Amino acid sequence: MAWVGATAREIARAVRRGDASATEVVADHLDYIRSTDRHLGAFRALRGPRALAEAEAVDGLPELTNLPLAGVPVAVKENVAVAGERSGADWPHVADADHEVVRRLRGAGAIVVGTSRMPELGLWGTCDDKEIVTRNPWRLDRSPGGSSGGSAAAVSAGLVPIAHGNDGLGSIRIPAACCGLVGLKPGRGVVPAGIGANAWYGLAENGILATTVADAAVGFAVLAGRRTHKLTEPGRLRVAVSLHSPIPGVSPDADNRAAVSRAVRSLVGAGHSAIRAEVPYPKRLGAVVLATWTASSYLDSRDLDYSELQRRTRRHVALGEQAVRTAEVTSGQRTRWRGQALSWLGDYDLLVTPALAGAPLEAAEWSRRPWRANLVANMRYAPYSAPWNVAGLPAIVVPSGVRGDGLPAAVQLVGPPGSELMLLAVAGLLELAAPWRRHAPSWPRAPRSRS
Question: Any idea what the CATH number is for the domain that residue 224 is in?
Answer: 3.90.1300.10
pLDDT tens digit string along 421-436?
999 999 999 999 999 9
> Considering the domain boundaries, does residue 201 fall inside one?
yes
Output the pLDDT for position 88: 63
Does the pLDDT at position 42 exceed 60? Answer: yes
pLDDT tens digit string along 112-153?
999 999 999 999 999 998 889 999 999 999 999 999 999 999
> Considering the domain boundaries, does residue 445 fall inside one?
no
Regarding predicted confidence, which is higher, 198 or 384?
Answer: 384
> Considering the domain boundaries, does residue 362 fall inside one?
yes
Strand partners, 238: 273
Output the pLDDT for position 446: 52
Label residue 451 by pLDDT band (50, 70, 90).
very low
Label residue 199 by pLDDT band (50, 70, 90).
confident
> Considering the domain boundaries, does residue 73 fall inside one?
yes
Q: Is 52 buried (19+), middle (13-18) or exposed (0-12) by CB count in 10 A?
A: middle
Does the pLDDT at position 257 exceed 60? Answer: yes
pLDDT tens digit string along 92-102?
678 899 999 99
Output the pLDDT for position 196: 56
**H-run or E-run covering 218:** helix 213-224
Q: Would you tell me how many other CB atoms lie within 10 Å of the CB of residue 376?
A: 11
pLDDT tens digit string along 274-320?
999 999 999 999 999 999 999 999 999 988 899 999 999 999 999 99
Regarding predicted confidence, which is higher, 434 or 195?
Answer: 434
**H-run or E-run covering 331:** helix 331-345
Mean pLDDT, rounded, of the chain: 95
> Considering the domain boundaries, does residue 193 fall inside one?
yes
Q: Would you tell me how many other CB atoms lie within 10 Å of the CB of residue 237?
A: 20
> Considering the domain boundaries, does residue 448 fall inside one?
no
Spatial distance between the Cα atoms of 406 and 437, rounded to a whole number of angstroms: 12
Burial 204-217 (b: 16+ CB within 10 A, else e): bbbbbbbbbbbbbb
> Considering the domain boundaries, does residue 450 fall inside one?
no
Output the pLDDT for position 90: 53
How much of the chain exceeds pLDDT 70, in percent? Answer: 96
Output the pLDDT for position 356: 98
Q: Would you tell me how many other CB atoms lie within 10 Å of the CB of residue 323?
A: 20
Please tell me the total count of domains within the chain.
1
Spatial distance between the Cα atoms of 165 and 397, rounded to a whole number of angstroms: 13
> Considering the domain boundaries, does residue 438 fall inside one?
no
Output the pLDDT for position 121: 94
Give the three-state DSSP class for 296. Answer: helix
pLDDT tens digit string along 333-373?
999 999 999 999 999 999 999 999 999 999 999 999 999 99
Q: Closest by alpha carbon to 414, among 397, 432, 434, 390?
A: 397
Its domain, for residue 248, covers 8-433
Amino acid found at 219:
G
What positions carry a catalytic annotation?
A: 77, 147, 171
For the full predicted model, state whether its pTM sits above 0.95: yes
Does the pLDDT at position 405 exceed 80? Answer: yes
Q: Phi/psi at 353 (nearest 5 deg)?
A: -130, 165
How much of the chain exceeds pLDDT 90, in percent? Answer: 92
Q: Would you tell me how many other CB atoms lie within 10 Å of the CB of residue 132?
A: 17
Q: Closest by alpha carbon to 171, among 131, 134, 207?
A: 207
Output the pLDDT for position 448: 47
Label residue 164 by pLDDT band (50, 70, 90).
very high
Spatial distance between the Cα atoms of 448 and 203, rounded to a whole number of angstroms: 40
